[in-house]
Chains A and B, each alone.
Chain A
Amino acid sequence: AVPAQAEELRIAIGLTGDNGLVRGMQKFADNVAANTDGAYTGKVFPNSLLNFAEAMTGVRDGIADVAFVVPAYNRAEFPNSNLVVDMATASTDPVVMTGAANEFMFSCAACLKEYANQNQVFLGLSSIGPYYLMSKPKVATLDDFKAKKFRGFGPFGRWVEAMGATPVVVSANDVYESISQGQLDGNTHTMDVLKSLSIGEVTDYVLDAPIGLYIGNSLFNLNRDVWDELSPEQKKQFLLAAGDAHGFTTVEYLAENQRYLKDPSLVGVELVEPSPEVAEASAAFRKQDLETVAALNRDKYQIADAEDQVQRMLGLVAKWEKLVAGIDKSDPKAVGELYNSEIFSKVDPASLD
């Protein structure tokens, strides 16, 4: 046979800078090159080719071959896939959640079909977090929440409300300004935004009460026409490349955030221990919110079996807590191997065609 010329895939992410997510995209590129013996390589475009809002249509039209798609930005196109995104409070361990959510997604035919309809192939997701409350004034007791305004969307906004403060939706780019001008008292987000969005410059405290995880990062959505050109063996190898890269991304991102949590002075904040009643209220909310999610998805997004799906996902979270307990979850390689042996190696590539 004629030796095939290496095809360089355009890999787009709507972020730039040195962080776990951008490195995760590069990891996928490296994995693909290694797994396909160089038949496919990849070049990462950090926020120069597609931004997050354009990623879904961008990979659909082949502007990028692979793109980091956020299904939450396209809820109309991804009603089923967004149910799992809503379950932010099901766990606070990203390593567990990435495993559970991927197992859920690859066995959700309706979800996979949503990707197919957009001319792309789902190759797994990475969950990030947990989200914490970062604030200008010190917040430790339920009283401290009164008459405060914090940024929070979806489940994080509901948490803010449950704790007695007012949730405000402000775009991530406006948070810095809003807090510095006193319009907002704080933000719910991952620890790394203290540095990446400079939020540490305008806040002084982080409440040590993890709220939930962000699950909606479909990192390696692959253009369908590219997928169709792959041989069955290459399809398997792309899946394995993705599984390992999800392990890498989840662990790297978590480690970065843990580092700031361990030494908050790095980003100019102080860690605050929540009062017992705050810890209790937060735990109660996290349980309660899963019922809210089920009701929302059933009533608002017409997913008839939403309750069952939530229960199924909770079962998977319990299963993955056990699986993850058996490995060193700070080792990206071990986590990637677990994802691959449990999920990505078992996915029948034909189910994605």
Chain B
Amino acid sequence: MTLLGRILSWAVTASTMVGAVAVILMMLQIVADVLLKNILSWPLPLTSIFVANYYMVIAAYLPLALTEKLARHISVEILFRYLSARWQRWVGGTVCLFAGIVAAGIAWELWFEAMKRARAGTFIVEQSIVMPIWPTYFVLPVGFGLLALVLFYRFAGTVTGLAGGLGEVPLDDDSIPGEQAGDSHAGR
């Protein structure tokens, strides 16, 4: 369990790194595009494709597992908080299993879609430049797949009661969004 957790933690960290790079590149490329447009009247070619089809897809879906690990997915807390600790564990575990199955199903379907796109070699043409975008279709199955793994791991943790090496934020954690700048981030 601990070893599994460590491996998973490593994968989540790696996906976070890629996501971070995408966010930073998105910022730099838009700023460069704005500068070049205004100074040289020369918009940076392919900016909209890179931003929309590359950086956005990565930034939106690769961090799904990190978001789960830090317990930052949004759910409705009306009833849950009134359950006893024991019930919270069981309901929380079942929900994790269920959500994990859904995420795995999504990853499964999106994998086939990505393969279809790769075979077709999907691209976009901008100002007569042909830009392939099929590789980014693989971001989605990876993002949802990792999310499924983290959810299954959480489920296993609640059922066995074993602590693992993932370093995830517990489900019943009361800490505050925007205030979770703790040391547990990204398995460091």
Contacts of A170 in B (CB 8 A): 48
Contact B123 A166 (CB under 8 A): no
Q: Is A261 interfacial (CB-CB < 8 Å)?
A: no
What is the CA–CA distance of A300 and B125 in the complex, to the nearest angstrom?
11
Contact B127 A157 (CB under 8 A): yes
For B49, the closest partner residue in chain A by CB is A169
Q: Is A183 interfacial (CB-CB < 8 Å)?
A: yes
Contact A300 B127 (CB under 8 A): no
Q: Is B120 interfacial (CB-CB < 8 Å)?
A: yes
Q: Is A168 interfacial (CB-CB < 8 Å)?
A: yes
For A169, the closest partner residue in chain B by CB is B126
What is the CA–CA distance of A57 and B113 in the complex, to the nearest angstrom?
10
Q: Is B92 interfacial (CB-CB < 8 Å)?
A: no
Q: Is A324 interfacial (CB-CB < 8 Å)?
A: no
What is the CA–CA distance of A147 and B38 in the complex, to the nearest angstrom?
12
For B126, the closest partner residue in chain A by CB is A169
Partner of A76, one of B37, B122, B128: B122
Kindly provide the distance from the CB of B132 to the nearest chain A CB, expressed in whole angstroms. Answer: 8
- A-side interface residues, number (CB < 8 Å): 19
Contacts of B170 in A (CB 8 A): none
For B113, the closest partner residue in chain A by CB is A57
Partner of B123, one of A76, A153, A154: A76
What is the CA–CA distance of A229 and B126 in the complex, to the nearest angstrom?
40
> B136-161, CB under 8 A of A: which get 1 and which 0?
00000000000000000000000000
What is the CA–CA distance of A202 and B179 in the complex, to the nearest angstrom?
44
Q: Is A77 interfacial (CB-CB < 8 Å)?
A: yes
> A70-86, CB under 8 A of B: which get 1 and which 0?
00001111000000000
Q: Is B41 interfacial (CB-CB < 8 Å)?
A: yes
For B130, the closest partner residue in chain A by CB is A300
Q: Is A296 interfacial (CB-CB < 8 Å)?
A: yes
> B6-44, CB under 8 A of A: which get 1 and which 0?
000000000000000000000000000000010001110
A76-B121 CB under 8 A given contacts A167-B127, A169-B126: yes
For A147, the closest partner residue in chain B by CB is B41
Contact A166 B120 (CB under 8 A): no
Contacts of B125 in A (CB 8 A): 75, 154
A74-B122 CB under 8 A given contacts A169-B48, A169-B127: yes
Contact B48 A171 (CB under 8 A): yes
Contacts of B124 in A (CB 8 A): 75
**What 9 A-B pairs come out closest when comparing CB atoms?**
A76-B122, A76-B120, A76-B121, A76-B123, A77-B120, A169-B126, A166-B41, A168-B43, A75-B125
Residues of chain B at the chain A interface (Cβ within 8 Å): 37, 41-43, 48, 113, 120-128, 130, 134
Residues of chain A at the chain B interface (Cβ within 8 Å): 57, 74-77, 147, 149, 153-154, 157, 166-171, 183, 296, 300
Jot down 18 A-B pairs with beta carbons below 8 A, ordered by A.
A57-B113, A75-B123, A75-B125, A76-B120, A76-B123, A76-B134, A77-B120, A77-B122, A154-B125, A166-B41, A166-B42, A168-B37, A168-B43, A169-B48, A169-B127, A171-B48, A183-B37, A296-B128
